[in-house]
Amino acid sequence: MKKLLLILSLMLAIVPLTQANGPLTDTELEKGPVIRYYPNPIRNILTLEVELEYVNQYQSLEVKVVNLLGQEMVKPVVKDYAGLTTEVKVDLTDVPAGVYFLEVYSSVNGNSVKQTRKITKS
């Protein structure tokens, strides 16, 4: 019984992860950095803390705030990563109250990971 379990675990370890369209790419396996943002709802300034798993995981960061139609509400904020944790502030003073999407793009060597979060402006 132990030999059978060992053989099965070895077989599972060498089988690549796949999806309906074929093997998963590195980008699909990558979840992206950890994003914390506050306050929500937002009055004027949105603060993001973006945390990497390891240094040089990503090189640049782009933050967009878009409405439900995908229109940008403020000029995108572009910043290079500095260490494991990078803080970004987005001024939403001139944005009317409502529900928006926060889009965070993390890039390295031409590859990009997009993460989207719902935010509320009060």
Count CB atoms within 10 A of the CB of residue 118.
9
Confidence (pLDDT) at 26: 56
Confidence (pLDDT) at 25: 52
Nearest residue to 115 (alpha-carbon basis) of 63, 55, 47 = 63
Domain definitions of the chain by residue range = 25-121
Question: What does the DSSP 8-state code read for residue 30?
Answer: -
Confidence (pLDDT) at 56: 81
- In percent, the amount of the chain with pLDDT more than 70 equals 75
pLDDT for 5 beyond 80? no
Confidence (pLDDT) at 42: 97
Could you please state the CATH topology (level 3) that the domain comprising 25-121 is classified under.
Immunoglobulin-like (2.60.40)
Pairing of strands 22-23, 34-38: unpaired
- pLDDT tens digits, one per residue of 25-83: 554 445 689 999 999 999 999 999 999 888 888 899 999 999 999 999 999 999 998 88
Which residues share a beta bridge with 35? Answer: 50
Confidence (pLDDT) at 112: 87
